[in-house]
Amino acid sequence: METKNILIGVVVVLVVIGGGYWLLYGQKGSTSPTNTQTPTTEPNKNIVTVEYSGQGFSPNSIVVKSGTVVTWVNKGSDAMWVASNPHPVHTNLSGLDALKGTPIGGSYSYTFTKVGKWEYHNHLAPSKTGEVVVE
Ligand SMILES: [Cu+2]
């Protein structure tokens, strides 16, 4: 009986000491500012959106920095197929070619890395044109 009580007493003392220890260190940990962590700065990723409607591309002409991602969003009532001039071979900037119709509500993105003036059109409605000037 007595040894059991002593054991319980020892356990209680250990728990109290342990709790105090944890409180001290816990508080220290939570109050000290974590200055060692510096915010991660992501490289500037330029994204420009061009909307396509039945009227054409808007804005019709944009000037962007090399590395800019241009996203064309189809807000028209027909499929949109963004492709580099000249129609129908798309050879001025061969990578700029959706290769298929982008459905209504869909989008097509291209990352411009070549400096220059790149004219494009809707391959499915070649009279609808636009241009991207890359600096
Ligand atoms: Cu074309």
pLDDT in tens, 63-103: 999 999 999 999 999 999 999 999 999 999 999 999 999 99
Verify that 97 and 60 share a domain, yes or no: yes
Q: How many domains does the chain have?
A: 2
Cβ–Cβ under 8 Å, residues 46 and 70: no
User: Is 39 part of any domain?
Assistant: no
Phi/psi of residue 58, nearest 5 degrees:
-140, 125
Cα(51) to centroid of ligand 1, in Å? 18
Q: Give the residue numbers spanning the domain of 107.
A: 47-134
User: Is 17 part of any domain?
Assistant: yes
Give this prediction's pTM. Answer: 0.68
Element (H, E) at 9: helix 2-31
Verify that 113 and 58 share a domain, yes or no: yes
Verify that 56 and 118 share a domain, yes or no: yes
Cα(26) to centroid of ligand 1, in Å? 66
pLDDT at 55 over 60: yes
Cα(23) to centroid of ligand 1, in Å? 70
Cα(42) to centroid of ligand 1, in Å? 36
Verify that 58 and 88 share a domain, yes or no: yes
Cα(67) to centroid of ligand 1, in Å? 24
User: Is 67 part of any domain?
Assistant: yes
Q: How far is CA 40 from CA 34, 37, 43, in A?
A: 14, 9, 10
pLDDT at 132 over 90: yes
Verify that 72 and 103 share a domain, yes or no: yes
Cα(12) to centroid of ligand 1, in Å? 82
Edge-to-edge strand ranges of the sheet holding 125-134 = 61-64, 125-134, 116-122, 82-84
Taking every pair of C-alpha atoms in the chain, what is the biggest distance, in angstroms? 99
User: Is 42 part of any domain?
Assistant: no
Q: What is the per-residue pLDDT for 45? A: 76
Cα(120) to centroid of ligand 1, in Å? 8
